[in-house]
Chains A and B, each alone.
Chain A
Amino acid sequence: MKQNAVKKHSRLYPCFTSALFTTLLLAAFFVSPSIAGVPMPEVPKAIKGESCVEDTAFMRRNHMEVLLHQRDKTMREGVRTKKHSLTGCLNCHAVKDVDGSFVTIKSEKHFCNSCHTYAAVKIDCFTCHTSVPQQTVGLRNQ
Chain B
Amino acid sequence: MSKSEENTTDIQRRKVLVAGAAAAGVTLVPGVMMIEVAQAKPDAESASRSVRWGMLIDSNKCKSGCDDCVSACGKENGWAKDKTPMSQKPQWMRKVNLKHKATGKEASLPMMCQHCEKPPCVDVCPTGASFKRTDGIVLVDKHTCIGCRYCMMACPYKARSFVHEVIEDHDSYMPRGMGTVESCTMCVHRVDKGELPACVESCKEKAILFGDLNDPNSDIAKRLKEYPSRQIRADLRLNTGVSYEGI
Contacts and interface: CB of A to CB of B under 8 A. Distances in A.
Contacts of A75: 139, 141, 143
A114 B179 CA distance: 27
B82 interface: no
B190 interface: yes
Given A127-B177, A128-B176, A128-B177, A82 B43 contact: yes
A128 B171 contact: no
A126 B176 CA distance: 10
8 contacts: A75-B143, A78-B45, A78-B47, A79-B45, A80-B192, A81-B44, A128-B142, A140-B190
Nearest to B73: A139
Contacts of A128: 142, 167, 170, 175-177, 180
A76 B171 contact: no
Interface in A89-142: 90, 126-131, 134, 137-140
Contact of B188 (A78, A127, A129, A138): A78
Given A139-B72, A139-B198, A140-B195, A78 B172 contact: no
B141 A76 contact: yes
A72 B46 CA distance: 12
B interface residue count range (under 10 / 10 to 19 / 20 to 34 / 35 or more):
35 or more
Given A128-B177, A129-B172, A79 B198 contact: no
A139 B190 CA distance: 11
A137 B171 contact: yes
Q: Lowest 3 A-B CB distances belong to which pairs?
A: A128-B177, A78-B47, A130-B170
Contacts of B131: 76
A65 interface: no
B172 A87 contact: yes
Contacts of A137: 171-173
B75 interface: yes
B76 A138 contact: yes
B15 interface: no
B178 interface: yes
Nearest to B72: A139
A55 interface: no
B187 to A, nearest CB: 9
B117 interface: no
Given A72-B143, A127-B166, A138-B76, 6 more contacts: A76-B141, A87-B172, A87-B173, A127-B177, A128-B167, A128-B180
A121 B198 CA distance: 38
B41 interface: yes
B241 to A, nearest CB: 16
A129 B170 contact: yes
A130 B170 CA distance: 5
B135 interface: yes
A77 to B, nearest CB: 4
B133 interface: yes
A81 B72 CA distance: 27
Interface in B109-135: 131, 133-135
